[in-house]
Amino acid sequence: MSRPANPTNQSTYAGQVGARIRDRRERMRLSVEEAAAAAGVAAPTWYHWESGLRSPMDRLPAIAAALGCKPRALLPE
């Protein structure tokens, strides 16, 4: 299942985190489906996080583990 990239609304905190999640996933060359499976969530949930539609804060440790980084690396500076 491949979806076109949705623009991330970076005017919100969730959008800024989502942009960092997307950037990290793309640098690791993971598909949304692969990253979502590694984090234990459905692909649509991951899409919502990357687009800033939903806050990923409650799942940030699982997201970071799936992306091979610390949770802090996914937060805006």
Question: Read out DSSP for 14-50?
Answer: HHHHHHHHHHHHHHTT--HHHHHHHHTS-HHHHHHHH
Look up residue 21 and give its two tokens: 């999640």
* Three-state secondary-structure class, residue 10: coil
Q: What is the model's pTM? A: 0.87
Please report the domains of the chain, with CATH numbers, ordered by start residue. 13-74 (1.10.260.40)
Residues 49-66 pLDDT 10s:
999 999 999 999 999 999
**pLDDT > 50? residue 76:** yes
> Residue 24 carries which side chain, given as an amino acid letter?
R
The count of C-alpha atoms lying within 13 angstroms of the C-alpha of 25, restricted to the half-sphere facing its C-beta, is: 24
